[in-house]
Structure 1
Amino acid sequence: MSSDPWGRVDETGTVYVRTADGEQVVGSWQAGSPEEALAYFERKYEGLVVEIGLLEKRVKTTDLSSKDAQTAIGHLREQVDAHHAVGDLDALRARLDKLVELVDARREERKAQRAKQSDEARHAKEALVVEAEGLAQSDQWRAAGERLRALVDTWKGLPRLDRKSDDELWHRFSHARSAFSKRRKQHFAQLDAQREDARQAKERLVAEAESLSNSTDWGQTAARYRELMTEWKAAGRAQREHEDDLWNRFRGAQDVFFAARSSVFAERDAEQTENLKLKEELAGEAEKLLPITDLKAARAAFRGINERWEAIGHVPRDARPKVEGRMHTVERALQEAEESEWRRTNPEARARAAGLTGQLQAAVDKLQGQIEQARAQGNSAKADKLERELAGRQALLDQALKGLHEFGG
């Protein structure tokens, strides 16, 4: 009989293994010596040790599922319980029991992790839904559209929830996207209609602008072009493929008109500059008539100067007030001289002036007599009062005498 610490072979060739529950039959060996029988079944044991070690490593270091791990543990446990090996089978059972505990712990850990991931995914998807519902009301069509597309990509990268929750959140998310798309479609449809209206309006403006381009009614046509520009701005933008072409035609028509006007105005400006030079010379000639000593000669000379003035034509607008002001100064001097001459030679006016002067002189003489009488009587108060009255009458008399003097009297 042969034996070792964990097993033995009896005289009949039966192999036994020692366990906590007593000896268990491993098998029968008839092919060789007892030592060979023990060595054979010990190698079987070493094989189980290796397999259990490999399974422990897989459980600890890989993502082996709990189900697959339990299946593998069960398979090994069956081999250990079959007692077809010689060795410390109780130790192997203990290792398998610990491995079961580890698998259970890993399963709970993964379950908790999945619950955490699911909770995080739920919050992430709820946040995406809230943002999408906010974007559904946005008028920032390009930015909001791009953001919604990015949210879809983010959604696809998140784990699925339970079917009910996932479907409910997706419904809200999808509805928000659809609402935005519907509003954007309506907006651009309305915008297309507005741009078509703008195109038609600008076609009419271009047609009128082109019809006016050869006009020589400079002022009225320029004013109308300004009105057309105001109407153009108010019409809004046409479609991109039409806007630039319409604008080039519209602007081109204006350029034709304003280029022609500028050419004419340049000639006119040159002519008016020459006119200004001539009128300045005439103004200087008129100013030489001042001061007026011979009214008749000055009037005749000014008339001749004015006739030449009127024949010259327009001068630049900004220079007109100054040069015309010089002529008006001479003209006013002539008018004042004529009025003075008229007053001097008017018999009726002279008679009225003489009569008024006589009346005032008589009043002054009378007051002087009354003052002398009051002084002689010692009535100083009355005399002072009369003297004040005399001063007023004397001032009027002096003024009247001056007027009479102008009449040559």
Structure 2
Amino acid sequence: MSSDPWGRVDETGTVYVRTADGEKVVGSWQAGSPEEALAYFERKYEGLVVEIGLLERRVKTTDLSAKDAQTAIDHLRGQVEEHHSVGDLEALRKRLDGLVTTVDARREERKVEKAKQTDEAKVAKEALVVEAEELAQSDQWRSAGERLRALVDTWKGLPRLDRKSDDELWHRFSHARSAFSKRRKAHFASLDAQREDARKAKEKLVVEAESLSGSTDWGATAARYRDLMTEWKAAGRAQRESEDDLWNRFRGAQDVFFAARSEVFAERDAEQTENLTLKEELTAEAEKLLPVRDLKAARAAFRALNERWEAIGHVPRDARPKVEGRMHTVERALQEAEESEWRRTNPEARARAAGLTGQLQDAVDKLRTQIDTARTAGNNSRADKLARELEGRQALLDQALKGLEEFGG
């Protein structure tokens, strides 16, 4: 018979292991010596020690799930309880119990962590739902659409909640996306309709613009083109392809008209510039008639110059006021000379002037007499009042005398 502190082999070859509950049969050994039998079952014990040590390290250093860890513990515990090895089986049981405690603690930690993650995920998903519902009312179609797509990706990266909560939040989230898509679709459908209306309106404007391109009614047609441009801007934008094609036709028609007008105006400008030179020469001749010495000769010369002036034609608009103003200055000077001559030679006018002068002279003489009388009587107040009236009458008399001089005496 052979034995060690944890087991023995009896005379029949039966191997026993010592436990707190007494000896347990490990097995039977008939192939060799009792020492070999004990050594064999001790190696099996060492194998269990190694496996338990490996499991302890996995539990501590890896993310082995609690379920898998418990399965491994149960498997090893079964081997220990089967008593197929020789060694300190109680120590192995305690190590396995310690592992169970560790796994339970890990399970509780993970449960708490999962609950925390679930709460955080719920808060995050609720925030996504709120933002999605706000975006559902946005008219910023591109940016809001891109943001909603980003929210979907964020949602997919979050942990699932309990089925009820997850389904309710997803329903709201999905409904917000659908509402936005429906509004966007309706908006672009309306926009397409507006653009089609704009295309039809601009097609009519193009047709009219093209019909006007050959017109030579420069002023009216240019004004109509301005109106057409105003209507074009008010019509809104058509689809891009149509818009570009219509604009090219519209602009092309205008270009044809305005190019033709520019050519005509260039010729006209050249002609009017030449006319300006001729009128400036006539104006210089007219100005030599001043001052008027021989009214009859000056009048005849100006009439001849004016006839030549009228025959010349238009000058550039910006030069017209200056050259016409010079001519009008000469004309007014002749008119003033004619009026002065008429007043000088008009007997009735001279008689009226002489009569007025005489009346004013009598009034002045009378006032002077009244002033002398008042001062002699010591009535200075009345004398001063009459003196002021005399000043006014004297001024009128001086003016009348000057006018009478124009009549030659």
TM-score by length of 2: 0.94
Aligned counterparts of 1:62 and 1:56: Cα–Cα separation in 2: 10
| 2:154 alignment counterpart | 154
Shift of 1:95: 0.8
Q: Which residue does 1:143 correspond to in 2?
A: 143
1:33 aligns with 2:40: no
Deviations 1:346-403 (A, max 9, x none): 111111112222333344445556666778x675747766665555444333322222
* Aligned counterpart, 1:180: 180
Structure 1 unaligned spans of 5+: none
Amino acid at match of 1:77: R
Establish whether residue 275 from structure 1 lines up as the match of residue 238 from structure 2.
Answer: no
Give the match's secondary structure for 1:31.
Answer: coil
Go from structure 1 to structure 2 and tell me whether the alpha carbon gap of 1:208 and 1:384 turns closer, same or farther (over 3 Å shift): closer
The aligned amino acid for 2:41 is F
**Relative to structure 1, is the Cα distance of residues 371 and 37 closer, same or farther in structure 2, using a 3 angstrom cutoff?**
closer
Q: Residue type matched to 2:127 in 1?
A: A
1:280 is displaced (CA, Å) by 0.6
Say yes or no: does 1:128 pair with 2:128: yes
- Report the counterpart of residue 11 of structure 1 in structure 2: 11
The SS at the match of 2:184 is: helix
Secondary structure at the counterpart of residue 105 of structure 1: helix
Aligned amino acid, residue 338 of structure 2: E
For residue 296 of structure 1, what is the aligned residue in structure 2? 296
SS in 1 for 2:292: coil
Q: What is the match of residue 98 of structure 1? A: 98
Deviates more, 1:148-157 or 1:259-268: 148-157
Comparing 279-288 with 126-135, greater Cα deviation is found at 126-135
Q: How far is the alpha carbon of 1:137 from its aligned partner?
A: 0.9
Paired with 2:371 and 2:27, the residues of 1 have a C-alpha distance of 180
Q: How does 1:158-169 map to 2 (within 5 A)?
A: 158-169=158-169
Cα displacement (A) at 1:326:
0.4
TM-score of the superposition, structure 1-length normalised? 0.94
Provide the alpha-carbon RMSD of the alignment: 2.0
Aligned partners of 2:78, 2:383: CA distance in 1, in Å?
Answer: 162
Name the SS for the 1:26 alignment partner.
strand
- Paired letter, 1:192: D
State the distance in 2 between where 1:308 and 1:6 align: 150
How many pairs does the alignment contain?
408
Aligned counterparts of 1:225 and 1:55: Cα–Cα separation in 2: 92
Tell me how far apart the structure 1 counterparts of residues 273 and 384 of structure 2 sit (CA, whole Å). 70
Match of 1:197, as an amino acid? D
Q: State the SS of the aligned residue for 2:137.
A: coil
SS of match in other structure, 2:237 = coil
Please give the alpha-carbon distance, in whole angstroms, between the structure 2 residues aligned to 1:392 and 1:112.
118
Q: Does structure 1 residue 404 correspond to structure 2 residue 408?
A: no
Aligned to 1:358: 358
* Whole-Å separation in 2 of the counterparts to 1:77 and 1:14: 23
Secondary structure, counterpart of 1:399 in structure 2:
helix
The equivalences for 1:224-235 within 5 A come to 224-235=224-235
Number of the residue aligned with 1:236 = 236
1:90-149, Cα deviation, whole Å (9 max, x unpaired): 111111111111111121122122212212221221121111111111111111111111
Moved more, 137-146 or 258-267: 137-146
Between 1:88-97 and 1:225-234, the stretch displaced more is 88-97
Q: Which moved more, 1:157-166 or 1:251-260?
A: 157-166
C-alpha separation in 1, matches of 2:386 and 2:48: 159
Pairwise CA distance, 1:290: 0.5
Letter in 2 for 1:230: T
Secondary structure of the residue that 2:255 maps to in structure 1? helix
Q: Whole-Å Cα distance in 2 between the matches of residues 64 and 380 of structure 1?
A: 139
Gaps of 5+ in 2: none
Equivalent in the alignment of 1:66: 66
- Which deviates more, 48-57 or 309-318? 48-57
Aligned-partner residue type, residue 104 of structure 1:
D
2:55 maps to 1:85? no
2:199 is aligned to 199
Alpha-carbon separation, structure 1, partners of 2:367 and 2:157: 124
Q: Distance in 2 between matches of 1:45 and 1:349?
A: 159
Q: How far off is 1:61 after superposition?
A: 2.9
3-state DSSP of counterpart to 1:103: helix
Pick closer, same or farther for the CA change 1:212–1:383 going to 2, 3 Å. Answer: closer
User: Matched residue of 2:105: which SS?
Assistant: helix
Tell me which moved more, 238-247 or 71-80: 71-80
Partner of 1:55: 55
Supply the distance in 2 between the matched residues of 1:121 and 1:33 (Cα, whole angstroms). 66
Q: Report the AA paired with residue 258 of structure 2.
A: F
1:312 maps to 312
Deviations along 1:180-209, one digit per CA (max 9) or x if unpaired, are 000000000000000000000000000000
